[in-house]
Chain A
Amino acid sequence: MGSKTDVWQGTLALMILKTLETLGPLHGYGIARRIEQTSGELLSVNYGTLYPSLLKLEQEGYISSEWGVSDNNRKAKFYRLTRAGRRQVHKETREWDKTTAIIARFLAPGAERS
């Protein structure tokens, strides 16, 4: 566990939204596992921080939730992207791309010089 990186606060929301956009309605446990898997098990989600984030996104209107039944017949709460959420994914993705591009530009010349 020690070598894994804890999820960067603030990016968790984007990861949740992107996961829901890719996979459709999903329950909390599924979201958490998906994030871990996508990161190639490099990220560890403290599942406990996931639920406040889900609540926050729901309060902001980007996702909605309803009770359903999971694959193995267990009652679970499913989260689904709303239309506003979909827009938010695109917006945040663009901003994220911009940010990483800027960061990359900062780091790149330094790497050349060394």
Chain B
Amino acid sequence: MLGLFRSDRVERELSEELESHLQMHIEDNLRSGMSPIEARRQAVLALGGIDQTKERYRDRRGLPRLENLIRDVQYGVRRLRSTPGFSLAAIVMVALGVGVNTMMFSQLYAIILRPLPYEHPDRLVTIGTTTSGAPLGPGVPPPVGALSVPDYEFLLGANRSFSEMAVNTQRDFNVSAPGAEPQQVTGTTASASFLSIFRVKPILGRTFTEREEREGADRVVVMSHRLWRQAFGGDPSIINRQISLNQIPYTVVGVVGPESMPFDGLVRDPADLWLPLVFTPEQRADRSIRPAFLLARLREGVAFEQARGDLDRIAATLARDYPATNAHSTFAMLRLQDAVFGGDAPITIMLQGAVLFVLLIACVNIANLLLARGVLRTPEIGIRLSLGASRGRIISQLLTENVVLFLAGGVLAVGVAFYGNDLFRSQIPFPIPELVNVDLNRYVLIFTLAISIAGGVLSGVLPAALVAARGVSESLKDGARAAALTGRRRRLSSLLVGAEIAFAVVLLTGAGLMVRSLALLQNADPGFTAENLLTVQVNLPATRYTTPDQMRAFVRDVSANVARVPGAAGVAWTTSAPMNVGAPSRDLSIEGRVPDDLQVPHARSYVTSPEYLEVLGVPLRAGRWLDERDGADAQPVVLINETMARTYWPNESPIGRRIRRGTDASTQQPWMTIVGIAGDIRQAGMSLRPEAQMFVPYAQLPRPTLFLVARVTADPTNAIGPLKEAIWSVDPQLPATNVRTMTDAIELDVWPQRAIAATLSIFSLLALLLAGIGTFAVVSYLAAQRTHEIGIRMTFGATAGAILGLLCRQLALPVGAGLVVGTMLAIGLSGAIRDLLYGVTRFDPLTLGGVLALLLACSALAVYLPARRAANLDPMLALRHE
């Protein structure tokens, strides 16, 4: 650093030294009889130029780069201030380009890169089993099914790669305690190692232990500080008190603090209760039952791939020893990070890619502006070259100037990102934890700094090289006007216009496809009437609802209460309402058909009250609805949907046929007669294809997990209160959860598509704007450069139209090429959003055509406006233009 701070003195001394050198030489020359002028000339020649010598000396002196850098930065700032118009336009462009990138990166960091807040999070993995041949849907992560208990126990002993292992399952619990409101809470039943694997430290009491993982000893529970505060007022005497979970008494042994709650803030419904997981003797014995979700911690020094090999070895052993259950099973291992966030990662990466295109367009614009300005600066650079600056120094100085500009833009970009994130958050309809946690932390700021510098170098390097490549004499001799017209520079400008148009095509195509998908999705027929429909979820606790009759009575009594609510037009029950996860899929036997092992008939089985489909507004296609005749003791019946009818009875009527659950001939399940066919409904989501569904009367198969579906005549939100009252007047201890209108549920379901469509639209409009401005600027510049020539042409009789054509033709090729290349690029890159598209393919002619037309119109306008101005010039003024 000393070389840097001492630089002024060193510089002065060098000047003095060279001066004394010259004087001595001049004196010698005078003595040998030269004229004073000749004496000095010879002396300077022999020295090889004072400034060149100084430059060489500085390069030798050390730390020239750093010092040059500081000088270049100061120079860059001065230059930016000397041309405020250019600087402001460029900085705003950079701020937008870098800003959207910073915003997306802050989300990407929060979703993909942020390490999980646990000790050595990189060593945490989840392990599941996959059965080979299981179909993988598009974009669906590998199906990591749970493990059987014997497999888990074998794995515990046989593995060499893991220091800790834990099993857990997620369940809902109805919590009630004296003096606390009844509520439904998510709980995790787990091995004691689950809490230690996350290094959970209770703020009160203790966690449960391995000794409590036994039937009889397992009535202990650890609760979150959140539940403790909210339901028990943060009372420290909670420890050793009894609370009731699903009407079973448990002893509270500990409270977990906010900083060490497993999965808190990472998943949508984090657990608030942890209790020992005790497997039933049946689960312990049977390898075909797979209840255990496995978490593990890699042993120190064991690589991920090594552990995978270890698991493969164990799976092979199990497959050999237990071929009946394990022949086709392998273990699948995922980093916990990927398991938690894996689903959102592709979308986030896609959006980050989209904003990179925005930045590229901004860079191209800046490059074009620099090219135009490089022309003005040619004489200046010529002088600097002749004063001994090396070409490398000129390039690095021009680059530094540009990086200074990008850094100024980068500072503003942080503001853009902050505002953008705020705006984005305000649009989120429900708290998505990983998006709520987005912030502009230091990693994000480092990214901003990095892309600002990269953008500055990227956009500056070509123009700088082109300007510096000109010879000294050439730069000095030619005026700005002559220099401007070099073909190389003009070709580069055109190429850049083509590039930004191509980038804009890519973004607009992506946005267009998403907007089309969203529109189709919103107009899609869900198969039922969504308006004025309310759903409420209840879980009847097994302790109080022990017999089917109790459940039937609950359903009957609540239905009667709801019917009395003013404005209620219909009430029904189902095990899963639309826009919820579908009911489990059941393998079926069809009477009279030989079972085919390769294609087992299956359908999602819903248990519903008879009116359910009618209340939803689903049309009846054939046969009859379920009705009061189909009571508990009547002949078992079932209603199926169109898809199921078409799939399994393609050429005949299924009415009157009989099916039953299970494929085993010895099954005790009763045969059910198909009485009717209903229209298809979209069950698990608007974009999902209807599946085979069957509907079994509730009276014949009562279930504790229920959705109440109510149709009302007026605003459904007004009916929420009376609906809850209707439930509580039957069972005051029963939590009513998930209360929502069907239109809200559908809105929530299409929200990802809406968010992506909106985000991509904003980005692509930004891209369109930038590309339009860029093209406009280039044409204005080209036209201005040719003003003199245009004047001459006009004096010789060229019409305004001919001039217009001349200027437009110049841009026709790059614009055309940009459109073609962009379309090909867009089709290729749209693969990234293939899974998000609904009803359109990435070859959608309407979208591609629309994008091309839009861009063609915008670029035509961006070319035409400046060209027309040039064409309408007064020839005499144009001629005099210099």
Contact = CB atoms under 8 A, between A and B. Distances in A.
Given A46-B48, A51-B14, A55-B60, A74 B24 contact: yes
B546 interface: no
A75 B16 CA distance: 9
Contact of B17 (A46, A49, A72, A76): A76
Contact of B25 (A29, A56, A75): A29
Contacts of A70: 20, 24
B64 to A, nearest CB: 11
Contacts of A33: 28
A25 interface: no
A82 B60 CA distance: 20
B618 interface: no
A47 B20 contact: no
Contacts of A72: 24, 27
Nearest to B27: A72
A30 B17 CA distance: 12
A55 B3 CA distance: 12
A43 to B, nearest CB: 13
B24 A76 contact: yes
A47 B47 contact: yes
A56 B17 CA distance: 16
B507 to A, nearest CB: 52
B53 A48 contact: yes
B49 interface: yes
A55 B18 CA distance: 13
Contacts of A32: 21
A9 interface: no
Contact of A27 (B20, B28, B53): B20
Contacts of B52: 48
Contact of A51 (B16, B53, B62): B53
A70 B19 CA distance: 13
Interface in B16-59: 16-18, 20-21, 23-25, 27-28, 46-49, 52-53, 56-57, 59
B59 A52 contact: yes
B16 A49 contact: no
Contact of A46 (B18, B20, B46): B46
Contacts of B14: 51
Given A47-B47, A48-B47, A74 B20 contact: yes
A28 B48 contact: no
B241 interface: no
Most buried by A among B14, B47, B49, B61: B47
A114 interface: no
A49 B49 CA distance: 11
A77 interface: yes
Nearest to A46: B48
Contacts of A75: 16, 20
B24 A29 contact: yes
Given A46-B48, A72-B27, A77-B13, A52 B60 contact: yes
A113 B57 CA distance: 47
Contacts of A22: none
Nearest to B3: A59
B58 to A, nearest CB: 9
Nearest to B20: A76
Given A29-B20, A59-B62, A47 B46 contact: yes
Contacts of B20: 27, 29, 70, 74-77
Q: A interface, by DSSP: helix, strand, loop or mixed?
A: helix
Contacts of A29: 20-21, 24-25
A64 to B, nearest CB: 14
A32 B28 CA distance: 13
A28 B14 CA distance: 11
B60 to A, nearest CB: 4
B21 A47 contact: yes
Interface in B738-779: none
Interface string A32-76: 110000000000001111011001100100000000001010111
Interface residues of A, number: 21
B56 A28 contact: no
Contacts of B48: 46-49
A106 B17 CA distance: 43
Contacts of A46: 46-48
A32 B24 CA distance: 12
A28 B20 CA distance: 9
B31 to A, nearest CB: 10
Contacts of A28: 17, 21
Nearest to A77: B17
A74 B28 CA distance: 13
A113 to B, nearest CB: 42
Contacts of B27: 72
A51 B46 contact: no
A51 B17 contact: yes
Interface in B387-427: none
Contact of A49 (B13, B56, B62): B56
A57 to B, nearest CB: 11
B61 A55 contact: yes
A56 B61 CA distance: 8
A33 B43 CA distance: 12
A72 to B, nearest CB: 7
A30 B20 CA distance: 11
Contacts of B59: 52
A59 B62 CA distance: 9
Nearest to B13: A77
A77 B12 CA distance: 12
Contacts of B60: 52, 55-56
Contacts of A76: 17, 20-21, 24
Given A55-B60, A75-B16, A48 B49 contact: yes
Nearest to A70: B24
A51 B16 CA distance: 12
Interface string B709-744: 000000000000000000000000000000000000
A84 B16 CA distance: 27
A48 B60 CA distance: 12
Contacts of A48: 47-49, 52-53, 56
A12 B476 CA distance: 35
Contacts of B16: 75, 77
B745 to A, nearest CB: 76
A59 B18 CA distance: 19
Given A46-B46, A75-B16, A51 B24 contact: no
B21 A52 contact: no
Given A59-B62, A70-B24, A74-B20, A52 B56 contact: yes
Contacts of B18: 51
A52 B13 contact: no
A52 B57 contact: yes
A71 to B, nearest CB: 9
Contacts of A56: 60
A48 B54 CA distance: 8
Interface string B6-18: 0000000110111
A42 B18 CA distance: 24
Nearest to B60: A52
Most buried by B among A32, A46, A48: A48
A29 B47 CA distance: 10
B24 A55 contact: no
Most buried by B among A30, A32, A55, A59: A55
18 contacts: A27-B20, A28-B17, A28-B21, A29-B24, A33-B28, A46-B46, A47-B47, A48-B47, A51-B17, A51-B56, A52-B56, A52-B60, A55-B61, A72-B24, A75-B20, A76-B17, A76-B20, A76-B21
Interface of B: 13-14, 16-18, 20-21, 23-25, 27-28, 46-49, 52-53, 56-57, 59-62
Given A48-B49, A49-B56, 13 more contacts: A27-B20, A27-B24, A46-B47, A47-B53, A49-B48, A51-B18, A51-B57, A56-B60, A74-B24, A75-B16, A77-B16, A77-B17, A77-B20
The 6 closest A-B pairs by CB, nearest first: A48-B48, A48-B53, A52-B60, A29-B24, A29-B21, A47-B47
